Structure 1
């Protein structure tokens, strides 16, 4: 029989996050109690006012296809949000509604990357950017985000790595997995590089509302000369705890939205109509729901960071955004994968090895604090006990 699976599929690396996730749930099915710090989803329920909106939408008959681009009402609400919160004046025609941020990434990369094109991608990073680029025959070129630099992009490194083949540059701020937030100075430097080299910027801003310590999120499209060369990508999963609703969007020049839609209309047709209706309500009727979640995340973060830094052999920077702590384990006699496996087996703690996010993540462990405060406290107790046991064994 001929080989059925296309050779391009060999370029895809299975999700290391899902590998941990599936093993943790298999352990639970076997009767063990696992603390879930591997997940990239909020542990809060979707706010009640949004759930009511989707129920009413279904009951009112919003159950059919919408425009491929998304409903006019939602595109208008997103444009209003981008003007109000991000200081970027988009017309609704410059917005495409997608089935989550994952589809937005796929659509954007499919639209702009030719085989052999180079794309600058941070390391460590959520691996979809690497995988989709490889699938398309493009060349992902990593630029490092280092703890020593506060997980800021090194502008000199980026300048060195731009070539005639560079088509685009990806930024993720706040960052998954580091929790770092790119500074205004860094963003201005990236903007200068993009403009002087005529390259696109793909700006992943899905964690923008999860910001701590008075830190400020800046959309790079708001900087002079950048709106016309930026794909601003966002969604509702993290801020509104709507991960299962699968709703995201891309904002870009109108001609690019039309090009993106060629992929989108053949891929998913449209986001569910009733979810789009509820997403309008999410944007326009929010009161303190997101702020309340952020306040609780910060309480958990503050406890975990203090507890982790008190454990001999571990250390971490205090994340300024998202809900991840990138724990430095370089003093331990284990790789990231080995330590993650050890914690899951011995301590029943599920975390993600840093190398899942690229070579720059080796020596780190991603711990999500999107779990209850009580579980964070218990998890840090188990973590200390597990590390202390390592020291005793050696």
Structure 2
């Protein structure tokens, strides 16, 4: 038998995804309503599916350029430009989703022992990648600051080995949006210390406030230190396509593309024209559906007496469940087994006393899940 001594010692200490664990538990429970995954129930736009069919018919099944075809990188560059982000096609890499973009970026930046600041609660992927690269995560707890970033608190977790900070706005799991104060706090520290700012912007098209700003647009003076990560998965309901991209200044991008090349070589050739078509598809109807569901969830959770910071983006709610007399893991396990509704405990995001509820499910499933949650809470 192979011993864990012969594997990556840092990776061996990490558990598998808690989100997937609770989703699996829900799958094993007949009739359970799953409010677990960030998986849009919408189908990929028909124009995108038609485009990939044309690419296959045209024989686009061979190796494409490592970083992406000109037919994809050009439209991505133009798309970012319309959002106030000035990146040439040569500064872009088409990736296997945001996951690979983040992996390639962090592996390219980190030496063993380097530190990465992650505001928490946070998506567990960041810690996993950093640990796998033999780095260390320094968590910046934001729960006592309305899930915003305080400059003084940020400075307190930055050390001599800090190499980068990862920011996610709109945030997963809270749905909160970083305001100007948070973005400026990150910029001030990054400029002074010289660390990289990795912007996981995958929910930027799913925002419900006009006050939203992207870090790279607000602080172009930090362009050389900034890496922007984006994805087709969430706004265009293309989670299964595994297509994303990253943008970085030439010197940084040149190092990241080495990792990208050795991790996956390239994304499939036949999906790239379709991804370019997606950039022309209107996501507003889906966004408005999520906004409507957000309002419903906020109202219903308020009626249940669960405190909640109103999410301003993405499609998650992160209510405070600390007053229910049990930990979030026990609560979510009981919800599955006793109520037939699955949520994700806050411990999966480094934040006990909360749970994440995803509202990117069909209206009927969301209503049923909320009714089951309310009925369960009434028994406590």
TM-score (norm 1): 0.93
Residue by residue over 1:22-64, the C-alpha shift from the partner in whole angstroms, topping out at 9 and shown as x without a partner, is 111122xxxx211110011111111111111111111111111
Which residue of structure 2 aligns with residue 234 of structure 1?
Answer: 230
CA contact (8 A) 2:164 2:196 kept: yes
Tell me which residue corresponds to 1:201: 197
> Does 1:281 pair with 2:282?
no
CA RMSD, aligned part only? 1.4
Question: Within 5 A, what are the aligned runs for 1:1-394?
Answer: 3=3, 5-8=6-9, 9-27=11-29, 32-85=30-83, 87-146=84-143, 148-283=144-279, 285-286=280-281, 288=282, 290-312=283-305, 314-358=306-350, 361-390=351-380
Range that drifts further, 127-136 or 254-263: 254-263
Which string of whole-angstrom CA distances, capped at 9 and with x for unpartnered residues, describes residues 296-317 of structure 1? 11111111111111114x2212
State how far apart, in whole Å, the 2-side matches of 1:15 and 1:70 are.
29
8 Å contact kept, 1:11–1:131: no
Report the Cα distance in structure 2 between the residues aligned to 1:370 and 1:49, rounded to whole angstroms. 22
Question: What SS class does the counterpart of residue 201 from structure 1 fall into?
Answer: strand
Q: Secondary structure at the match of 2:329?
A: helix
Rounded to whole Å, the distance in 2 between the matches of 1:220 and 1:103 is 20
TM-score by length of 2: 0.96
Q: How many residues align?
A: 378
CA distance in 1, matches of 2:152, 2:254: 35
Paired with 1:56 and 1:235, the residues of 2 have a C-alpha distance of: 22
Deviations 1:346-368 (A, max 9, x none): 1111110011011xx20001000
Equivalent position SS for 2:202:
coil
Deviations 1:220-270 (A, max 9, x none): 354141111101000100010100000011100112222112111121111
Tell me if structure 1 keeps the 8 A contact 2:118–2:137: yes
SS of equivalent to 2:235 = coil
